[in-house]
Structure 1
């Protein structure tokens, strides 16, 4: 994550016209940020992080730019307005951080310093040792550059050159040289408290003055907190203007904040909202697509399984029918192709046994067993042997109450005998 914080410096010129100083460039404590939705976010920079040796050492050699254009690197440095360098590590000065700097030029009316840095943000809320609330803690701060800006965040130092006076909250107690006549001519809309015609803010100088006086009046009890916040909000809006244009703060997803016009902020926020809505729609469509794809895959697999099973069953049925027709042909049955499988089996059994075997009310298993004993034997002299086996089984059946069981057992014994013969004879 990246951050920009702002403080001020007091500077002097060298004989060569360079600007040298050892300004405050940062501090420990609470820092206020404005979220994209306009809400306030308080981040805490504890002393152990602000004055960490590695963090302070990261200041040395870093460039000084005009405004925050980007995080500086070797690739973009030639294109950036770099006007100076940090000459030393940072050092602790009470609650502040100072560093030696050198400015080659100052082509701007801005007089505040703002640090650009990377950090890790622990978004665990809590309270400071003195009981103040914060929303997150800044950790592992590493500096990238310092920028000269018109308005910063830290609020405890500003650049002064050649007697130039810059707003300081503890120095102003008047209306910035407004005459009574000038003051009376101002519309109510330029006053921080319009109903009282108090704290005039026709321009940046008066806005800075109004903000400073409001801070003093709040401390002395002559101003309510609500009035102070009203004045400060109006003053900050005026002070954030550039070239007469009201500027807003926009915080990017990487944590960097930039000044931009209200129109740009509105466009970016609309883009963010639209992008979020589009993402929701895409996620919904993706979920539907994934579900449809899974369903289609299952339908395809089920169809393939059904097709395979149908083919196997069909092939088995065709083979069985052909086998039965072959047996019917062996026994010279007429019009067997028009007969059902069961009718062919019964006809073959009668061909072998004549009417000696009564098949009335016999089960399919009985008929199948009798047919199996007949189908491998052609209608020739071998039929007598088969008939003898069958008649013998039937004769035995006369001494048994369960004809089906005896006949089926005889068929099974025949299968075993054939198997033993194929294996070389029963053992």
Structure 2
């Protein structure tokens, strides 16, 4: 068996103490079969009840450190030790550990660090990732009760720390977590397999497959996404391959084009349109052109005031958020804000930035950043309808 370091994720609810610290209930781990990518292969690893709920595992959860992000792998293998605890510790687990609903372990954490508390109050970093060590027993079997097959078992699980990480996107993409300090491995969250193998009931009593693609194809896409995220996170964006101009355009528009094609195919299958097939294709081409034109217009408007902003691979929403943050650094937009709200704030920021160009005539190679004093100056300019010196 091989002993590895793993990081599993969950979410929390935060409460404030009388002293101003933050306390939260945390699910540390749960039983089940989970997908991992190791040595280029996907394998199913089981957290069996007899392993997860054994006394040594429960005891390992007590009074462990809470961190703001995991330590880097080059610092004690990504774990908290006496050599680095002062650098990373922002809080601690409580002494009480409970088995909840017969399938998971929960405890209480207390956060003392002001910066991390600010992030939690702002709704950020409410996703947690638990760092732990375990032996990998590569003995296959069937999970008790569900008969779900697995390829290996995690044994002698020992929790090391809990890390607060940025909020994920609620299952809309695969969440990937580094799973080993020696061999590179990834844990693929269960939302991925839910999309691949689960069926959901619909109102007329029929069943609708969540994703018609073959499971192997979906797993391949998840693994590919995992590798992309890994190299971006640990090697940095600067080391990524820069696409040529045509590839950039393709990467920026491909997601919108694919969505339009999918919509068109669904309409054909459901018979929800009486438009002849040639006209449908023409309508699709028009939609693609409109999407491309809108995308180019958005990028041009942003580049005019934030020329250094990189838009490759960003959605329209992400471009608007990054541009707004650059122009109005003091303006905070909630992560769950609607697309309409994001667009409205972006349009306002863009308009203010354009006014800033008119007033100060900055070099067009530099960005426009607006502080409160500048905003007051712009308000006076609009009210008085005369140039402000």
Range class of TM-score, shorter chain: 0.3 to 0.5
Q: TM-score, normalising length from structure 2?
A: 0.43
The structure whose residues are more often strand, as a share, is 2
**Structure number with higher relative contact order (C-alpha < 8 Å, ≥ 6 residues apart):** 2
Q: TM-score, normalising length from structure 1?
A: 0.40
